Amino acid sequence: MKTDTKTSLFGVIGDPVSHSLSPVMHNRAFSEIGYNAIYMAFHVTDLASAIKGVKGLGIKGLSVTIPHKVSIMSLLDEIDEMAEKIGAVNTVVNKEGKLFGYNTDCLGAIHALREKTDIKNKNILMIGAGGAARAIGFGILSDGGNLTIVNILEDEGKVLSSILGVPYYHLSEFSRLEYDILINTTPVGMSPETNRMPIKPLDLKPDKVVMDIIYNPLKTMLLAESEKIGCSTVDGVSMFVHQGAAQFEMWTGKKAPVKIMRKTVLKEL
């Protein structure tokens, strides 16, 4: 990739950040559409200094990952309403020296689901009540879905259900709950413990849509068992790519090459 004095710089900040697939995905996307930009990974421990550097160097945009998604909010000039509600920012856009914060995690989940199903008026069970669940929950509600939180930790589950204004059930009650779409936002089933899933295989219902935000492994035990009984599945790469595509379009004003981005991430995995 050739660079010159007009090359725009983007990047991901986090601690750690060496595992990130964002650089290979975004750089491939820039190359695909002929956009003069480069994307790098920055290991950031001093967040305040890093944000000053973004302004000072004219870095055009950032992806934000753990542990900076919440703490970065107080350092930005403006925050999008949805990101404010979610309470986390994963995307920064530098507009003529002013830094604007957004959250594309919810957009990523919604676009990934829309590839397989409508969301409006569907009954959706979401397992988990952490940061990812909060972002996805707001996205589902904004798209007209009927959401229910299922979580093993009662305090955490009730807090999120109160924030979102939706019902909560303990995970032990899962088998009696009806749903059209099931979403796992927990790390249960992630590598290296790939022989686990958050519920019992017998508690799955056939012909539903099942989404898992884990992308390593690409096909979790939850997705594999769901496919066996005729469910349509949505893997974690889909959400990752779509949240990245939303970032790409915010930064460039161009249509993201989603298929190329997905192909690039799958090849890297």
Domains and CATH numbers, the chain: 8-103+239-268 (3.40.50.10860), 107-234 (3.40.50.720)
Per cent of the chain over pLDDT 70 is 100
Distance in angstroms (rounded) separating the CA atoms of residues 247 and 245: 5
Whether pLDDT at 1 is above 80: no
Whether pLDDT at 149 is above 90: yes
Residue 89's φ and ψ, nearest 5 degrees, are -120, 130
Whether pLDDT at 2 is above 90: no
Instruction: Confirm whether 122 is a catalytic residue.
Output: no
Q: What is the pLDDT of residue 19?
A: 87
- pLDDT tens digits along 197-245: 999 999 999 999 999 999 989 999 999 999 999 999 999 999 999 999 9
Whether pLDDT at 131 is above 90: no
Contact 21, 268 (CB under 8 A): yes
Tell me, what amino acid is at 214?
I
Contact 139, 145 (CB under 8 A): no
Whether pLDDT at 175 is above 90: yes
Helix (H) or strand (E) holding 165: none
Residue 201's φ and ψ, nearest 5 degrees, are -55, -35
Which are the contacts of 198, defined by CB distance < 8 A and separation ≥ 6? 127, 128, 171, 184, 186, 188, 189, 222
pTM greater than 0.85: yes
- pLDDT tens digits along 27-37: 999 999 999 99
Q: What is the pLDDT of residue 174?
A: 97
- pLDDT tens digits along 8-21: 999 999 999 998 99
Whether pLDDT at 55 is above 80: yes
Tell me which of 60, 69, 85, 208 is the catalytic residue.
69
Q: What is the pLDDT of residue 133?
A: 95
Q: What is the pLDDT of residue 56?
A: 96
Closest to 83 (Cα-Cα) out of 72, 96, 98, 67? 72
**What mean pLDDT is predicted for residues 89-105?**
97
Distance in angstroms (rounded) separating the CA atoms of residues 223 and 75: 39
